[in-house]
């Protein structure tokens, strides 16, 4: 019995999903969790948390901002019209695989100059963003210009972007566990104008 084109596409989709999951699992096994855990007290002690990222990494940070808001933190997304000035006691959570994205580096410069702490999630500690950061968590993923396929067979910075989302969800889950607020209480903070 020969495969139909639909069967072949289904098999290809399945294989790609398994590859994506496998790459994220391999990244998680290489992660320095002590380095990541150091982010938690910075978020807990922050007066306010600001998040910044570009492209798909920015979307992952926006998703994290929502979860941190559910937890009761005061959170702002850089670039939104209602985002206030950052200052002392605040934390800028910045995501950039290369650590060279100009808008993110500029935001980090301004945050540091205003007395805020900068927490970077990146693939490297050797970058302009890392130089400005109070703390850097390194995700051992390919940068978007790495087309060699040695670290990831996925396109561009896909593994980094996925791992940022997963890591920030793990940070939220850990903070939530420490906080102990029931899910029903967190849900009261969920947007109700949808």
Q: Is the pLDDT score of 100 beyond 70?
A: yes
pLDDT for 147: 62
Q: Is the pLDDT score of 11 beyond 60?
A: yes
Q: Is the pLDDT score of 3 beyond 70?
A: no
Q: Domain extents for the chain?
A: 5-187
**Region of poorest pLDDT, from 4-13, 35-44, 59-68, 124-133:** 4-13
pLDDT for 155: 87
Tell me which residue has tokens 């051992």: 140
Residue 117 forms beta bridges with which residues?
91
What predicted TM-score, i.e. pTM, was given to this entire model?
0.92
Average pLDDT, the chain: 94
Mean pLDDT of the 153-170 span: 94
Residue among 47, 45, 39 nearest 122 (CA): 39
Q: Is the dihedral of CA 182, 65, 139, 86 positive or negative?
A: negative
Mean pLDDT of the 87-95 span: 98
pLDDT (tens digit, 9 = 90+) per residue, 15-58? 999 999 999 999 999 999 999 999 999 999 999 999 999 999 99
pLDDT (tens digit, 9 = 90+) per residue, 105-157? 999 999 999 999 999 999 999 999 999 999 999 999 977 666 667 788 898 88
Give 184's pLDDT tier (boundaries 50, 70, 90).
Answer: very high
- The neighbour count for residue 135, using CB atoms within 10 Å, is 16
**What are the C-alpha distances in Å from 109 to residues 105, 125, 131?**
6, 16, 10
> Residues 168, 170, 173, 177: what is their CA dihedral angle, to the nearest 10 degrees?
-120
Give 6's pLDDT tier (boundaries 50, 70, 90).
Answer: confident
How is domain 5-187 classified at the architecture level of CATH? 3-Layer(aba) Sandwich (3.40)
H/E stretch holding 161: helix 158-179
Q: How far, in Å, CA of 194 to CA of 179, rounded?
A: 27
How is residue 105 written in tokens? 């580096």
Q: Which position among 23, 80, 161, 194 bears the catalytic label?
A: 161
Q: How far, in Å, CA of 40 to CA of 194, rounded?
A: 30
Q: Is the pLDDT score of 13 beyond 90?
A: yes
Residue among 27, 36, 19, 22 nearest 95 (CA): 36
Note if 161 is an active site residue: yes
Mean pLDDT of the 166-177 span: 98
């Amino acid at each position: 019995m020969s495969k139909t084109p639909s069967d072949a596409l289904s098999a290809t989709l399945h294989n790609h999903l398994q590859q994506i999951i496998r790459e994220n699992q391999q990244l998680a096994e290489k992660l320095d969790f002590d380095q990541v855990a150091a982010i938690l007290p910075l978020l807990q002690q922050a007066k306010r948390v600001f998040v910044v990222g570009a492209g798909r990494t920015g979307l992952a940070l926006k998703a994290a901002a929502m979860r941190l808001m559910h937890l009761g933190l005061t959170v702002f997304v850089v670039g939104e019209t209602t985002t206030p000035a950052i200052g002392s006691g605040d934390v800028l959570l910045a995501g950039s695989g290369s650590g060279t994205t100009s808008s993110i580096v500029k935001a980090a410069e301004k945050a540091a100059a205003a007395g805020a702490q900068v927490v970077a999630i990146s693939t490297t500690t050797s970058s302009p963003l890392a130089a400005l950061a109070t703390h850097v968590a390194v995700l051992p993923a390919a940068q978007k210009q790495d087309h060699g396929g040695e670290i990831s067979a996925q396109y561009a910075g896909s593994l980094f972007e996925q791992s940022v989302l997963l890591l920030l969800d793990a940070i939220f889950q850990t903070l939530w566990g420490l906080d102990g607020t029931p899910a029903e209480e967190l849900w009261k903070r969920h947007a109700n104008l949808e």
